[in-house]
Structure formats: structure tokens, C-alpha cells
Structure 1
Amino acid sequence: MKRATFLLVCGVALSFCRAQSDSGGEEAGAEEEHVELFTTPATKMGAATSDFGYNLFRALAGREPSTNIFLSPISVSVALTQLSMGGSERAERQLFRALRYHTLQDPQLHSTLKDLLASVRTPGKGLSTAVRIYLSRRIRPKQEFLALVEQQYGVLPKSLLGGPKDVSEINTWVSQETGGKVQRLLTKPLLRNAGVHTVSAAYFKGKWATRFGQSGVMENFQVDGAAPVRVPMMQQDNYPVKMGADSDLSCTIAQIQMQDDVSMFVFLPDAVTSNTSLLEESLTAEFVQDLSMTLLPAQVSLSLPALRLSYSTDLLPLLGDLGLSDWLADTDLEKISTLAAKLGSVNHKVAMETAPEGNQYPSGGAPAYLAYRVDRPFLFLIRDETSGALLFIGRVVNPKALTI
């Protein structure tokens, strides 16, 4: 596990605060490496879905190195986990390894994931999801598979007729499941010669624990290799955060509390750069859990872009980067149909909004001297603190290019 070195920013000074004492010696460091951070089925599942999400995010970021990208890892995990229920033992093992389930040793894996999904979808957390398997009519799905998925996850895999009507049906269902917030997941018909498709969508609009006093103030956002763009910012003095800086990653990190045990982590590089590969490589469930216990409280003058975004992609080409090349060559989905069932797409779409509202006001007094201005490319993630599950992750290189 990467152990970060942090700086707490106080006034004009930066003072070091190590997550691991250098004076403890190699023996103490080795002992700390074995501390178990995830001890319950829910937190272990949260760590597994998060690590899958970080791996998927890295794969997508590597293919799109200088663009805005966003994912809801837990919804993709649920889609592929449902798909694993239709595979042979070999196929299930391959999918479970990519999904990081091979570390869980959980005989009730599907029930644990179902419970985790229910807990992160409680109304106060601000997350809604839509996940479903769609099947070509020609493959004649086995009733046992359909019943098993519906019993476990509450959504019946749907057979398709093919053509534009399917596009309308899928888009309408996704919109209904996300309260009308995720629109037009599909823009063209699914391939008819592929028997199986997964759809996953998510919308997030969490509420801050502490409100912002100003919103919509137009400020410059620095763009790597281009002129600054004007974007609306949320601003507030004396805003409570947990904060630190990582000298190895050359970034400052802030954890901003949201309601119902959800928080946003913002990773702000020291320089204006769209190359965040070093940051991306550092992200694991263990590292972020360590951050949540190591970052230190601070009162800051906080400026944060007001985000309104949607992003969609077919994740199928990325699965090979997650160790699933052999599985993609022979998906072996024998429990879905007696006919060969080829995976045709892993469609994913997310939408997200941030608003200035919160359930409490910041403390009064003189404005905080310390400023945390998110005015250049950054990474962020939304995390459920109870389970540790990664709900949302994104890279913003140019907020002006975001659309919803």
C-alpha cells in the first residue's frame, strides 16, 4: 500500500505530518502493512468494487489521456456481476478476478453486493442507478437464469426485438430509474449479431454538509495548453475540510463532507496539467481509506467549480485491459442460453450535478487565510464513508466542455 506523506496547510506555513513515522524502523513499517482496514462483508465488498473502479478508470484514462471522463464504478460492478451469473465456472472465475471478488471469500457474495447497493442508494446519499442485462431474442434465454437475476437483484433481464424500438425502450427505462436525470443512454440500435448487452447508468446529486454562500461566480479555470476558460464557481470562507498535500504525487488533497456519510475527495495537482497518470496510478481502496484517516481538519476559503455533466461510453473495449482478453474470446455464457451468447456492449452513462445548498452554515469570524481554489485540472471521487464504496470518479480537464 502506498503510504502518503502529507502537508497540513496552516496560514502561510506548510508543516509535515506523516501517515507513517519514519522513526518507527522497518519492523514497525512491515507490521503496519498488515493492518486490516476492511473487516466486514460490506466494507470488503466496498473495497472490491472500488478497486475494480479504479482499475477501470485507469484503463479509460489511458485511452483518453487529456479529456474529461467520469464513471460510476458500483453500477458497472453490478452489471458485470449479474452477467457472471450466466457464465460457466471458468467464466465466473475470470470475471470475479477482474471484479476483485477473488479476495473476498464470501459465500453470500451476491447478497452482500445487493445489500451494499441498497445502502448506497438510500435517498439522502444522492445516488440513483439503473442496471440491466438485455438479450437478443434469437438466443432464447434460460428461464433459470432470468429468475435467478431477478430474485437476487430485483431486475428481470429483458429480451429485445432489435431496431429503433429497443433504443426507445432502454432509454425510457433508464430515465425512469434515474428520475429522468440520465437521458438518451443509447443513440443507435444495439448490434443484432451480439446476443448479450449490459446497461448501467447512474445519477448523483449529493448535498453538502456545509453550504456555499456564493454560487455562479464566473472565474478563470486554467486549461493545460490553452487559454483559461470562464466557469461558474461555488465559494465560501471558513469552510471545514480535511486536507493535506502529497509531496510524492505533487498534489493537494481535500476531503469535503457531504450529507449521509458521503464525501468528495479532490486531488488538485500543484501545476496546471492534464497529465494526471501519476495520481491515477496511486488510487486504491486502501490508499483512499488511509487518506480518510490521515487528512487533517482545516478551515479554508474554498472555491469549487459548479459541476453539471453527463458522460457515456461503451466499456467493452476496456475489459481486455482488466485481464479479460481470454474471457472476451470465449465468454462461455452457458447458463444464459444453449446457443452461443456473445457480449456485444457494456454501455455506461453517468450524470452529476453539484449545488451550493447544505444543511448547515460555516462558522463566522474573520475569513480563513488559507485558500483552496480548484481552478485547474483535477481528479475527484465520491465515496460512501460507511462502506468505503466508490460511487463516482472523474477527471475534469476543462469544465467548460461539460454538458448535461
Structure 2
Amino acid sequence: MPSSVSQGVLLLAGLCCLFSGSQPQDPLEMDVDEHDHDHKEHLLCYRVSYIIIQITFTLYHKSDSWSKQTNVLFSPLSIIASSLMLSLGAKNNTHDQILEGLNFNLTETPENFIHECFQQLTYILHLPDHTPQLTMDSSLFTDQKLKLMDKFVEDVRRLYHSKVIALNFKDTQRAQNQINEYVEGETHGKIGGLVKEMEADTDFALMNYIFFQGKWYDDFEVERIVEQDFHVNSDTTVKVPMIHRRGRFFLYRDLDLSCWVMVQHYMGDATAFFMLPDQGKVQELEKTLNQRHFENILQLIDIRTADLYFPRLSIATTYDLKTILSTLGITEVFSKEADLSGVTQDAPLKLGKAVHKTVLTFEDDVTVPTRNTSWSKRDSPQNFSIHFNRPFLFVIKDEYTNCPLFVGKVVNPVTND
């Protein structure tokens, strides 16, 4: 066996496009059988779903990747799915460290059960009523001369719906271009240049992407864009286009967290939680936020007629996934001690690079903003008015599996990575 160690690349891409166009039906008024989608027999295993939610909050609270002064955006489901795919080719301590880092106790939850649950999730996200609003896919790019283990290829195809694509990694520039073009095509042109530099000894790249495009169900009376102040912090204020809507919203005031919570249901079977803390209370909210709050929100949420002002935004983040996974104690796979012999026995492998890039856009059908802020003064006097004009947090989860698709924090709507 050669003494040199070949490298792999882990690539994660997330695209979340939220549209504010109204829909004719309220989800609470729809016929249950109509909205059932014949999913019930395919629901994701609850125990695995619960662990995914736990890992989501662990990542948000502990990762060194998130800055207090910048926007945060990542896809926990993509991070966990790609790590589990990698575990299919890992052996010995490398394998155990990945599963333990993801908080899976194999004495309570057998490994085959974990992967079968993700197989169900992947199946659900590929049903016609999810696509094209919501889907998750994977691709395995390998050097055309690298002989993969048959079991690994079969497992990633069957369990994670992954395609296997052969490239000539010896031509690093061409391989880089091919992967970037593929990612850009799969994310509708929104994510380009995912791979900035391809190492000469790279032999494979494992890519996972999640795509969500949803429209609000709510029926709005009006919609305008007005330019207003967004208070980044006590010292910084920026001008942003704010989408103004008037209608019925699912709102909840959490006194313990000192924040407003807005829940929105989207076409594409997803629900978004937008948490607007009081001025200066962002870090306090971050420290105390946990799974219990989301369980309480759905019980306490109320429908209120309100004037809503929400920033029209597009934010993007790029993270070194090594830092994120190290938060979970997953480190060996990046070292020379990595055992990925379940992927191939041609040469020793390690994960040399891992990139996670996510894009969130909040769009609307109004294209001409106005600087006349008199609209805010014309709010109906009996309507409650809420302005997302300061840093806020959000979680977007799949309705049927309960898994978090995207998690983030908007600190400044006019900055990107």
C-alpha cells in the first residue's frame, strides 16, 4: 500500500428561498385527508428526529464558527446526513467517533436503524408533493481510477439517494470546474464557486445539498416595500427595504425569553419560526434557547391580525466544516489516522477539506421600493404592528419529519460572507 495518503472533500450546499406570495388556503382550514400526502406510513423515526434536533442546538450553542457580530446560517440536516454517509465508509475508531459525535447510542439505536430512518427521510423529500419545493440529494465524485467498495456504493445509493460520478481528479482544475458547475446547476444558479481550490492528491468528493423554496400560505391584504432603519446594535443602524404586509399571522409573546415568535407555514411542507428578541436581548435568547421552547410555541401560538414589517434580504455564509464537526468531537477523519477503508482499499484516505455554504433569500413579488415611509403611519389603528428591524433568529423545519432544515441569525441584512 502506498505511503502517501489521498484526500477527500466534503461539500455541503444549502439553498433556502422564501417567497411572500399569498396562497388561497389557510393550513388550519384544509381537509386533513388532502394534506396527508399518504406520508404517515413513511414518517421519520421519532428517536432519530429527536437526536437531530438535539444536535442542532448543540451546534448552535457550541460551534466556534458562529460570530456574535455576523449573520449565522447553516443546515443541520445536511451536516448530519453527510456525516452519516461518511460513516458508511469509515471503520474502527473513525467510524465510532462519527456516530458518537452525532450523539447516536448504538446500544439504544442500532446503526442500520439510523440509516434506514434517513432512507425514509430521503424518500419523503423526493415525493412529488415535496419536489421541487423541498429536496435533499447527495453525489459522490470519485477519481475515475479509484475502485470503490461495492457495499459503500450500494449503501450511499440506496440509503441516501446518492449519485456516483467519475471524474479525472488528476486534472484538478477541470475536476473543480465540473463539481462547481454541478452544484450551481443543482441549486438553480444560486450557489457558485463552492470549491475554491482542489488539492492535487484529492481522490473523492462527497457532496450533499438541500434545496427549499416555499411560499407563505397566509392571505395578505396589502404588500409594499418601504425603506426603514435596521438596528444592528446600539452603535450601528443601516437602511433596509422592509416588506410590509397586513393580514393574519401566527404570533406568540414569550415572556421568559423576552421575544416575539412568529410561525409561518410554507408550501413545500415546512414551518419557519422567527424569533425577535427585545433590543439587546439576542445573546440572552441564544443562551437559553432549546428544544422545549419549540414544543411550547406550537401550543401557545395565537392568530393575530397585524401589520408586519420584515426585511427583504439575501444572506450567504461559508464555513470550514472541520471546525463545526470538531464541536461534536469528530476529528480523526481529518487526520492521518483516519480509517476510510470502507470507501476503498486502493490507498489510505483522509478527509482533507470540508466546506459548508448556505444561501438564504427572502423575496417577494413587489419590485419597486418606495422611500415614502408614510405607509407605516397608515396602519389600521386596531392592528398590532411588529417590526423585524433588529437582529433575530430563525429555524426552518420540515413539517412531516420535524427535522431542522436551516437555522440562522440575521444580524445585518445587507452584509454577506
TM-score band, normalised by shorter chain:
0.7 to 0.9
Q: Mean alpha-carbon deviation: is it higher for 107-116 or for 166-175?
A: 107-116
Is 1:105 the equivalent of 2:95? no
Query: 1:392 offset after TM fit, Å?
Result: 0.9
Q: Deviations over 1:73-115 (max 9, x none)?
A: 2122221111010011543332122223337625432222122
Structure 1 residues 136 and 65 mapped into 2: Cα distance closer, same or farther (>3 Å)? farther
Query: 1:351 offset after TM fit, Å?
Result: 2.0
Specify which structure has the higher proportion of helix.
1
Distance 2:238 2:223 in 1: 19
Q: Is the 8 A contact 1:120 1:127 kept in 2?
A: yes
Q: Report the 3-state secondary structure (helix = DSSP H, G, I; strand = E; otherwise coil) of the residue aligned with 2:356.
A: strand
Q: Gapped runs of 5+ residues in structure 1? A: 1-39, 358-364
Distance 2:284 2:142 in 1: 39
Q: Is the 8 A contact 1:87 1:335 kept in 2?
A: yes
Structure 1 residues 142 and 192 mapped into 2: Cα distance closer, same or farther (>3 Å)? farther
Query: 1:308 offset after TM fit, Å?
Result: 2.0
RMSD: 2.9
Distance 1:159 1:153 in 2: 18
Q: Is the 8 A contact 1:57 1:71 kept in 2?
A: no
Query: 1:282 offset after TM fit, Å?
Result: 3.6
Residue aligning to 1:299:
305
Residue aligning to 2:352:
344
Structure 1 residues 387 and 150 mapped into 2: Cα distance closer, same or farther (>3 Å)? closer
- Written as runs of structure 1 = structure 2, the 5 A alignment for 1:385-400 is 385-400=399-414
Is 1:331 the equivalent of 2:350? no
Structure 1 residues 111 and 177 mapped into 2: Cα distance closer, same or farther (>3 Å)? farther
Is 1:234 the equivalent of 2:243? yes
Query: 1:124 offset after TM fit, Å?
Result: 6.3
Distance 1:157 1:282 in 2: 42
TM-score, normalised by the number of residues in structure 1: 0.77
Distance 1:197 1:55 in 2: 26
Is 1:164 the equivalent of 2:173? yes
Q: Is the 8 A contact 2:270 2:399 kept in 1?
A: yes
Q: Report the 3-state secondary structure (helix = DSSP H, G, I; strand = E; otherwise coil) of the residue aligned with 2:227.
A: strand
Q: Gapped runs of 5+ residues in structure 2? A: 1-42, 366-378
Q: Mean alpha-carbon deviation: is it higher for 322-331 or for 230-239?
A: 322-331
Q: Mean alpha-carbon deviation: is it higher for 47-56 or for 215-224?
A: 47-56
Q: Deviations over 1:240-287 (max 9, x none)?
A: 21312242x3322221222344221111121146xx444334444454
Match of 1:290 among 291, 296, 309: 296
Distance 1:401 1:111 in 2: 40
Q: Report the 3-state secondary structure (helix = DSSP H, G, I; strand = E; otherwise coil) of the residue aligned with 2:383.
A: coil
Match of 1:270 among 270, 273, 278: 278
Query: 1:119 offset after TM fit, Å?
Result: 2.3
Q: Is the 8 A contact 1:98 1:322 kept in 2?
A: yes
Residue aligning to 1:220:
229
Query: 1:158 offset after TM fit, Å?
Result: 4.1
Distance 2:224 2:193 in 1: 29
Q: Deviations over 1:141-163 (max 9, x none)?
A: 32332232123223234455141
TM-score, normalised by the number of residues in structure 2: 0.75
Query: 1:335 offset after TM fit, Å?
Result: 0.6
Q: Report the 3-state secondary structure (helix = DSSP H, G, I; strand = E; otherwise coil) of the residue aligned with 2:105.
A: helix
Distance 1:303 1:227 in 2: 19
Which residue identity does 1:255 align to in structure 2? Answer: V
Structure 1 residues 64 and 137 mapped into 2: Cα distance closer, same or farther (>3 Å)? farther
Q: Is the 8 A contact 2:44 2:121 kept in 1?
A: no
Structure 1 residues 178 and 372 mapped into 2: Cα distance closer, same or farther (>3 Å)? same
Distance 1:51 1:197 in 2: 28
Question: Sequence identity, in percent?
Answer: 23
- Written as runs of structure 1 = structure 2, the 5 A alignment for 1:45-56 is 45-56=48-59
Distance 1:139 1:243 in 2: 55
Q: Which one has more relative contact order, counting CA pairs under 8 Å at least 6 apart?
A: 2
Is 1:184 the equivalent of 2:193? yes
Q: Is the 8 A contact 2:313 2:413 kept in 1?
A: yes
Distance 2:133 2:68 in 1: 29
Q: Is the 8 A contact 1:301 1:367 kept in 2?
A: no
Query: 1:389 offset after TM fit, Å?
Result: 0.9
How many residues get paired? 353
Is 1:58 the equivalent of 2:61? yes
